[in-house]
Amino acid sequence: MACQTVDVFPALAKHKLVPVVVLDSACSAGPLADALIGGGLPVAEVTFRTDAAEASIRVMAERDGMIVGAGTVLTVEQAKRAVGAGASFIVSPGTNPPVVEYCVKEGIPITPGIATPTDIDLASGFGLDVLKFFPAEAYGGIKTLKALSAPYGHVRFIPTGGVSASNLLDYLALPCVHACGGSWMVDRKLVNAGEFAKVRSLVSQAVALAQQH
Ligand code: 3PG
């Protein structure tokens, strides 16, 4: 396992983007890491939606400079497997108390999903202040995020779900936005087709767009 000494949350804020990756085969993990690094975005949230997640994290985390997290973490067992494979942060779709409690206790950076004030209260109770707003567009997008950030001024959000090149800059313009998550630059079909030059190009475009902020 690569040594992960990176300070995750400042790194995510620096890159402004968290590519949400679904890998159907761990064979794609190396070329995808190369495409992300080559495109200027050495970050990946590898989702536990496929059986290839753990092996893929292991491959990607070995790449120098890659910041690899595990997404769609629904159980403590998955969190343990992810960290064992080299994940340096955990993302969960909701604020799942056993998963959050485990990560906080172990000092593993976690950004759990929230969509309501009650969710934010729950996550804040664990001492967390960088939270995934998920699914962002389905839950009202920017309008909801502005309303949520008014009473929770200490919280930084990573909106994910429906974020794309067409609305990225609108999200990044909000002071409460830490970074944005999205899959548009790591399209699952392109990855499965082995079209890594196209993926790299989409990654470069996303980076260039984010830098306009
Ligand atoms: C997901 O649910 O897959 C992630 O939140 C990414 O959503 P997106 O595909 O809309 O970017």
| Residue ranges in the chain assigned as alpha helix (H) | 8-15, 29-38, 53-61, 76-85, 97-106, 117-125, 141-149, 168-172, 188-192, 196-211
* Cα 163 to ligand 1 centre (Å): 8
Q: Which atom of ligand 1 is nearest to the CA of 164?
A: 11
CATH homologous superfamily of 15-210 equals Aldolase class I (3.20.20.70)
pLDDT tens for 171-199 read: 999 999 999 999 999 999 999 999 999 99
CB 160 within 8 A of CB 18: yes
The domains of the chain are located at: 15-210
Task: Give the closest residue (by CA) to ligand 1 atom 7.
Answer: 161
Active site residues: 45, 132
Task: Give the closest residue (by CA) to ligand 1 atom 4.
Answer: 161
Residue 5: pLDDT band (50, 70, 90) is low
Of 21, 45, 160, 191, the residue with max ligand 1 atoms within 8 A of its CB, to mutate for a pocket test, comes to 160
pLDDT tens for 145-168 read: 999 999 999 999 999 999 999 999
pLDDT tens for 26-80 read: 999 999 999 999 999 999 999 999 999 999 999 999 999 999 999 999 999 999 9
Share above pLDDT 70 across residues of the chain, in percent, rounded to a whole number: 97
Task: Give the closest residue (by CA) to ligand 1 atom 8.
Answer: 161
